[in-house]
Amino acid sequence: MKLEIIPPPVYVTQPALPPLDEFIPYLREIWDSKILTNGGPFHQRLETALCQYLGVEHISLFANGTLALVTALQALRITGEVITTPYSFVATSHSLMWNGIKPVFVDILPSSLNMDPAKIEEAITPLTTAIMPVHCYGRPCDLEAIQAIADNYNLKVIYDAAHAFGVRRDDGSILRHGDLSALSFHATKVFNTFEGGAIVSPNAKIKKRIDQLKNFGFVDETTVVIPGINAKMSEVSAAMGLLQLNYLDDALYKRSLIANRYRAAIDNIKGIDCLVDAGEGMSNHAYFPVLIRPDFHLTRDVLYQRLKEQGIYARRYFHPLISEFPVYRGMPSAKPENLPVATIASRQVLCLPIYPDLADEDFERIILSLQSCKD
């Protein structure tokens, strides 16, 4: 009897881990210091290192990216309604709901799958206080158009930059745009601290308020001035981040090579389209989304299942839309007829595996599977 050799599974992403022998001395230093959290030495070192690497002046570390979003809204005292995208991970809208804010969904651009600035103005009401766009897949939003609308209507802009670590334009980091940018350092991100996040702020005054909010609202040992939360990053996570930075440029370079290989290979597969290339440095290749068009011989969901059966675990990011979840779909702005581009994208998108250590044989297996999957 012939035994079938099943190759190991390939996931859409895998966490990048530094060498264990480099991490152990950091753990020993933490253990010896007996400082495990509360803004310890590694926390301070990582904030300084991230400011230098990202080219920003002020950053506040968090236990995770969702707490960073929740706190960013509190820091700017956002209330009422916030215009946002339905095409994102649900934490984007959840952060609004946690603050008693009503999300108002607008459609996205077919070229980038980012928020369509042309749809923002018509969604503004007297209750609108802010715009929360997402740099989807690490690709920059139309920063100037969004800011112009915000300035015209006196609105705040908080970017959900969970995917956008290290993304730059000619004028520097995209994290410097808007009033605040919130990052995620989850294990699946291009830069991770196991779990973690951060807020990039424009000045020391707002950073101070953010740091108070993430520590229960304490301003000194005995005084609480605002109803804050416990959102502090641990020393172990901060140590992980410091090590990650040593390897990040190499990781981003490897991701770019894999993305270029995908583009070249998929260009020859009828019915599968890549997004328009964002340009050099304008993406960190956090994900590699493709769109399974109607002229492909399988639907997106059938292809997804076929790949899964072969041990290739692609992901349907983002399906369903946030606006389609029961908690949101009753809102007027969540109606599918208001979100035609997002609705189509959600039914066609498939994110293929991409991470620095994706082996050549696994890459070839993915492409062969896309080419050969049958009805």
Count Cβ atoms below 10 Å from residue 226 Cβ, excluding itself.
Answer: 13
Question: What are the structure tokens assigned to 298, written together?
Answer: 């399988």
The torsion region of residue 359 among left (phi > 0), alpha (psi -120 to 50) and beta comes to beta
Task: State mean pLDDT over 262-268.
Answer: 95
Instruction: Tell me the per-residue pLDDT of 298-350, one tens digit each, with 9 for 90 and over.
Output: 999 999 999 999 999 999 999 999 999 999 999 999 999 999 999 999 999 99
Encode pLDDT of 13-47 as tens digits.
888 788 999 999 999 999 999 999 999 999 999 99
* C-alpha distance across the termini of the chain, in Å: 28
Please name the residues in contact with 248: beta carbons below 8 A apart, sequence gap of 6 or more.
53, 166, 190, 191
Percent composition of the chain: helix, strand, coil (DSSP 3-state, to 5): 40, 15, 40
- Tell me the domain boundaries of the chain: 10-14+248-372, 20-243
- Six-digit token string for 51: 């400011």
pLDDT of the residue at 6:
63
Report the distance separating Cα 22 and Cα 366, nearest Å: 33
The pLDDT score that the predictor gives to residue 150 is 98
Segment 177-189 shows an average pLDDT of 97
- Class of the 10-14+248-372 domain? alpha beta
Q: CATH for 20-243, among 2.40.50.140, 1.10.645.10, 3.20.20.140, 3.40.640.10? A: 3.40.640.10
pLDDT tens, residue by residue, 118-142 = 999 999 999 999 999 999 999 999 9
pLDDT tier, 93 (very low <50, low <70, confident <90, very high otherwise): very high
